Amino acid sequence: MTTQPAEPSPRRGRGRPGHDQAAVLRAAVELFNRKGYDATSMGDLAKELGLTKPAIYHHVTSKEQLLGQALDDALDELTAVVTEASKDRAGGTSAYGRLREVLRRSVEVLVAHQPSVTLLLRVRGNSEVELAALERRRWLDDRLAALVTDAVEEGALRDDVPATLVSRLLFGMVNSLVEWYRPDGAYDRAMVADAITAIAFDGLARHEA
Amino acid sequence: MTTQPAEPSPRRGRGRPGHDQAAVLRAAVELFNRKGYDATSMGDLAKELGLTKPAIYHHVTSKEQLLGQALDDALDELTAVVTEASKDRAGGTSAYGRLREVLRRSVEVLVAHQPSVTLLLRVRGNSEVELAALERRRWLDDRLAALVTDAVEEGALRDDVPATLVSRLLFGMVNSLVEWYRPDGAYDRAMVADAITAIAFDGLARHEA
């Protein structure tokens, strides 16, 4: 269930003095995901933290700053994973091996940073901060498509589906995690990563069943 | 690019008298998807349509009404597809065949109703209308998971991945369409449906390559 938007209110009992930056950011991301970024005001955030509206500005300069920090949190992790997977051509690891690895590690990032990745995947480009994030997402998409192409070219993957389409669908499957994965649910991250690689590479059909 | 939220403004040149309900609904869904439902006001919608704020109420009683209509549009189509796939047990079509069919037809619905399905997939449950839509989505998810279970039990699908997890991932892959599919892009709906069934059932790896 969710709380309703409400008037700015004076400090409430659950507010604690001395919020650190990380706690403010966590509360902001949770609120952005619940209400939508555009519909969330600094007044809403102050209320959520049990602060007065003026007091919130001791912790943060603007809503955009919090959005930028959250999106960078998600993007920095995903960029590290994709950069690692994109190199190593001379090192002997096949593109296929690196693609499997990037899928597994993406699952780990999504589970460990689920709130900020959720926010990232909902970005629509309504501000400079969002447009910059979309630009970084495009870079990731391009690197992933290139990795799929390399895996096709080395003969490990079927070549009858366009690599960019494969890449969209694979990471669409991974990204869907943010909508339904619950850390306290029935599946741990290893099970999810195993299921994704099993479906993606070997398929669900019993061959010759 | 996007327009910025703005003050309610008087009728603009592009406004036409006699908007029909379908045109108002289309504009509302486009605006909800672009700005977020919670951040969109009736004033924003009036401006988008080139109407004054009082005039918009000749066409629609509330924002919630428009949301409900859009979500029903998506849900009615998806419910028809899933209902069709869920019956027919006596008719001879295997659960596996019906699962393949429901994937294909889901792709068709997503492509044909992309704006309203996009809205549906972003619903967070912040109102009665949204909670009712989430309840209908859960029914769909349950039917799809049951269909995967049936396909496993008839021996057509591997049984080493839990059926509910398979169902989440398969339809996560399908649903990702709304984020990246463009009707004027490189892939038509048949190519996307072929790619999804190829990946899901046969996998990407060249077997024994």
Angstrom distance (rounded) from CA A195 to CA A179: 17
Is B94 contained in some domain? Answer: yes
Quote the pLDDT of residue B39: 92
Mean pLDDT value across chain B = 89
Closest Cα to residue A72, out of A64, A61, A83? A64
Q: Which residues of A touch B169 (CB under 8 A)?
A: 173, 176, 195-196, 199
- Give CA–CA dist A16/A44, Å, rounded: 16
**Number of CB atoms found within 10 A of residue B135's CB:** 11
Backbone angles phi, psi at B197, to 5 degrees: -70, -35
Same domain, A67 and A55: no
pLDDT at B108: 96
- Residue B41 in any domain: the answer is yes
What 3-state DSSP class applies to B18?
coil
Q: Classify residue B208: in a domain, yes or no.
A: no
Q: Please indicate whether, in this complex, the C-beta atoms of A199 and B202 are within 8 angstroms of each other.
A: no
**Any B CB within 8 A of A131 CB:** no
Same structural domain, B49 and B1: yes
In the predicted model, residues of chain A with pLDDT beneath 50 are: 1-16, 209
Torsion angle (degrees, nearest 10) of CA B54, B60, B62, B68: -160
- Using the beta-carbon criterion (under 8 Å), do B164 and A173 form an inter-chain contact? no
pLDDT at B90: 62
Where is the domain boundary, A61, A79, A98? A61
* Same domain membership, residue A175 and residue A117: yes
List C-alpha distances in Å: B174 to A17, A46, A190, B178, B193. 46, 38, 22, 8, 9
Query: Rg of the Cα trace of chain B?
Result: 20
For position B18, which CATH number holds? 1.10.10.60
pLDDT at A7: 44
**């002997």: which residue's tokens?**
A92
Q: Are residues B173 and B102 in the same domain?
A: yes
Residues 6+ apart with CB under 8 A from A9: A47
Residue B185 is part of which domain span? 70-202
Residues B49 and B77 in one domain: no
Chain A residues inside the 8 Å CB shell of B185:
none
> How close A201 gets to chain B, by Cα (Å)?
4
More confident residue, B178 or B13: B178
Residues A194 and A156 occupy one common structural domain: yes
Q: Is residue A69 part of a domain?
A: yes
Confidence of residue B88 (pLDDT cuts 50, 70, 90): low
- Averaged pLDDT, B65-81: 97
Same domain, A153 and A142: yes
pLDDT band at residue B1, thresholds of 50, 70 and 90?
Answer: very low
Does residue A46 sit in the same domain as residue A67?
no
Q: What is the ipTM of this complex?
A: 0.85
Q: Give the CATH number for residue B180.
A: 1.10.357.10
Banded pLDDT at B59 (limits 50, 70, 90)? confident
Tally of domains within chain B: 2
Query: A31, A135, A144, A169: which to substitute to probe chain B, counting the most B Cβ within 10 Å?
Result: A169
Does the residue A209 lie in any domain? no
Residues A32, A103 share a domain:
no
A155 and B2: CB-CB below 8 Å? no
Closest CA to B102 of B53, B160, B146: B146
- Supply the pLDDT for residue A13: 38
One domain for residues B141 and B193 = yes
Those of residues 60-79 in B touching chain A at CB distance below 8 A are none
**Type of residue numbered A115:** P
B39 touches chain A (CB under 8 A): yes
B125 part of contact set with chain A, CB < 8 Å:
yes
Whether B49 and B79 share a structural domain? no
Whether residue B112 is found in the same domain as residue B146: yes
Residue B208 has which token pair? 């024994």
Q: Which residue of A has its CA nearest to B170?
A: A173
Q: Which residue in the set A1, A171, A200 is minimally distant from B203, CB to CB?
A: A200
**Is A5 domain-assigned?**
yes
Residue A208 in domain: no
- The two three-digit tokens of residue B200, written as one number: 């899901």
Q: How far is A206 from chain B (nearest CA, A)?
A: 5
Does B65 fall in a domain? no
Task: Examine the pLDDT at B173 and tell me if it is beyond 90.
Answer: yes
In total, the C-beta contacts within 8 angstroms joining chain A to chain B are: 165
